[in-house]
Amino acid sequence: MATRIAFLGLGVMGYPMAGHLARAGHHVVVFNRTASRAERWLAEYAGERAATPAAAAESADFVLACVGRDADVRAVALGVDGAFHAMRKGAVFVDHTTASAGLARELAADAERRGFGFVDAPVSGGEQGAKNGALTIMCGGTDGAYAKTEPIFNTYARQCRRMGEAGAGQLTKMVNQICIAGVVQGLSEGLSFARAAGLDPEAVIEVISKGAAQSWQMENRYKTMLAGHFEHGFAVEWMRKDLAICLDEARRNGSSLPVAALVDQFYADVENIGGKRWDTSSLFARLEYLRDAKR
């Protein structure tokens, strides 16, 4: 018998993730706040559409959420028609949203009281990773809840790992975003410097990408950055949301994030020049804008 899965949120990431589950033969019931997007998904994949998160969660073995912010997670999980009110004992709620560790711990405790499992499982890999079934998933939760969900994750991930108890997945995703922020800023500065110095930036990258400066961002983004194309991934407004979570957690645990805090300010500059929906590599556009303004 096919596993019954509820998928809540058919955004840039959730849409293809739910699609992989349907193609793998699972019985997928989807919920999306914008019903037309759910109808579009149903025209492409086999499944059902539910009118509320609770209706989607009824009789589900797994309920997966991939929404925007903490408030959105609360709405689909604990709202008037939230999934938690309808989930059966023994099921597992998985939150793929990048959210706060505090929320993950709160939901895990609530789920335990209600008799079902919880896994916080933020993802990395972007839209292409979701489409290609090549995401990385960082998980927090009990061994038992994670063991149940790992086969589901393998449908759309190339790597998944339990990092610890509830909240550990979100904390690991914070580390991921902190690292990305610094790497993208460094790459942006290097490309801008190369261009200002009269070098051929592409030739520079061909040389330095074979050494210690190499990174995923360099391999996958330098050409689009130089071409001024910033429609290839995670939007600036969402990166700022994630960095706000990181900075809030840092204040809580006493860690210092000077580079992440500075890059967040740079992303605010990108928003101010119209780049709210540009991808995170648009830090380069900010530097080019500043250089042009000096001429």
Catalytically active residues, by annotation: 173
β-bridge partners, 6: 29, 63
List, in sequence order, the alpha helices (H) in the chain.
Answer: 14-23, 35-44, 53-57, 70-78, 101-114, 126-131, 143-153, 168-196, 201-208, 216-227, 236-253, 258-272, 283-294
Please tell me whether residue 81 adopts helix, strand or coil conformation: coil
Burial class (CB within 10 angstroms; exposed 0-12, middle 13-18, buried 19+) of 51: exposed
Please give the torsion angle defined by the CA atoms of residues 129, 132, 133 and 138, in that order, rounded to the nearest 10 degrees: -10
- Residue 102 near residue 118, CB atoms below 8 Å: no
Query: Under 8 Å CB-to-CB from 236, ≥6 apart: which residues?
Result: 267, 270, 271, 275, 276, 277, 278, 279, 280, 282
Burial class (CB within 10 angstroms; exposed 0-12, middle 13-18, buried 19+) of 174: buried
- Residue 130 near residue 17, CB atoms below 8 Å: yes
Pairing of strands 27-31, 92-95: unpaired
β-bridge partners, 278: none
- Residue 64 near residue 7, CB atoms below 8 Å: yes
- Residue 48 near residue 30, CB atoms below 8 Å: yes
